[in-house]
Structure 1
Amino acid sequence: MAPRKQQEIFDATLRLVAEKGYDGLTVEGVAERSGVNKTTIYRWWPSKAALLGAALVEADVLGFEPPDTGSLRGDLVELVEGIQRLLTEPPSSDIAVAALGAAVRHPELDAHRFFADRFAREREIFDRAVRRGELKASADPMLIVDLLAGAVWMRTVFRGLRLTDDFAAEAVAALLDGI
């Protein structure tokens, strides 16, 4: 399948899940919106769960490149700011909340691939920090990401609070410097 057509299918998938939720997402709806036959979609993805799982990882709208500011603190601040944008700026906010929220109720939707893919890319931040002597090799990068990303999720999605401009720097400082 041509990469551009694949991106159109992924875009249609993510926009539909944002509009209608996982339960309202259908392969027929994706086919209609992306201008392909549903058999084409089924040829590449055997179910709507597989299609959404692929879209979460491969879609441009949720694309992610790990920051490289030259310091662990700077990289973590930019990482948190990226998570803030993901969860607060449409269309990614609607998509992330709907799709990743659905993963809790629908085990067939394997969101682990999304998180594993992102973490594999985030891992570079910590590998560089260890090489620069900013971080002990024994530090748990996943715990660090979970603490920071969890703070953004709690504030924006679950508590519905608006984040201040310096939230990312404050969260990183609380983690790196202690409370």
Structure 2
Amino acid sequence: MTSRDQAADTATADPGGSPRRSKITPEREQEFYDAVLDQLRECGYDAVTMEGVAASTRCSKSTLYRQWKTKPQFVAAALRANRCVRFAGIDTGTLAGDLREAARAAGEWSSRDSMLVQALSHAILQDEDLRDALREALVEPETQALEELVARGVARGEIAADHPATRFITAQLIGVVRARPVLEGKYADEEYLARFVEACVLPALGLTDPD
């Protein structure tokens, strides 16, 4: 850590002597978020501590407590800061092509996100903010992106707007990513998800052209 980072991690006080929240650069803040998420994946939620994150990022634990107060608040903030739309930018020109590309993209991040969900599975049942943060970071962005893929398919006339299978696409793709580690002890990698889309998703939509 540089002297600038050390200074940023140090609490300041106003002229009256009252403690003031320390100033942390966006880059340093992201470093804290990355550290807590990495520890979640590796050790599980219960094993993560503010002290451990402080040690791994070479800052004082008081800095973390001043910024985030509690571990659940810290983890929730890290989840929200790492909100990422994995399916962003997918537009092959056909709905079948888009869903195949979505399967490839999902396979790239399935292991990391599955580890994160597994690490938080018990904690989110007890903490509403954690549950909401997990949905904002990993569920809602993907749901919206998949709905946009389908909407473009409808606009192109590839499927009917009221096709009954469209409402289950998100549940199919995200569900199989979450379920395979439990059912088979393996992550849903790109090859597995590609076969799943060909065998289950596309036939359900009537999109069986091998293009």
TM-score band by shorter chain is 0.7 to 0.9
Question: Aligned partners of 2:44 and 2:102: how far apart in 1?
Answer: 27
In structure 1, what is the equivalent of residue 150 of structure 2? 126
In structure 1, what is the equivalent of residue 127 of structure 2? 107
Count of residue pairs the alignment pairs up: 175
Where 2:93 maps in the other structure, the secondary structure is coil
In structure 2, what is the equivalent of residue 116 of structure 1? 140
Query: Residue 40 and residue 64 in structure 1: after superposition, are their counterparts in 2 closer, same or farther (change >3 A)?
Result: farther
Question: Aligned partners of 1:46 and 1:117: how far apart in 2?
Answer: 27
Among candidates 80, 85, 96, match of residue 108 of structure 2: 85
Provide the TM-score with structure 2 as the length reference. 0.65
Q: CA RMSD in A?
A: 3.2
In structure 2, what is the equivalent of residue 3 of structure 1? 26
- Structure 2's unaligned 5+ residue stretches are 1-23
Query: Residue 155 and residue 128 in structure 1: after superposition, are their counterparts in 2 closer, same or farther (change >3 A)?
Result: same
The answer to whether residue 187 in structure 2 is matched with residue 172 in structure 1 is no
Where 1:128 maps in the other structure, the secondary structure is helix
The answer to whether residue 161 in structure 2 is matched with residue 137 in structure 1 is yes
The runs of 4+ residues in structure 1 deviating greater than 6 Å are none
Point out the structure with max Rg over C-alpha: 2
The structure with higher relative contact order (CA 8 Å, sep 6+) is 1
Provide the TM-score with structure 1 as the length reference. 0.75
In structure 1, what is the equivalent of residue 16 of structure 2? none
Percent identity between the aligned chains? 30
In structure 1, what is the equivalent of residue 48 of structure 2? 25
Question: Aligned partners of 1:18 and 1:120: how far apart in 2?
Answer: 25
In structure 1, what is the equivalent of residue 118 of structure 2? 97
Residue identity in the other structure for 1:136: A
TM-superposed CA distance for 1:112, in Å, is 2.4
Cα contact 2:163–2:205 (8 A) shared by 1: no
Where 2:160 maps in the other structure, the secondary structure is coil
| Structure holding more helix per residue | 1
Residue identity in the other structure for 1:107: D
- Structure 1's unaligned 5+ residue stretches are none
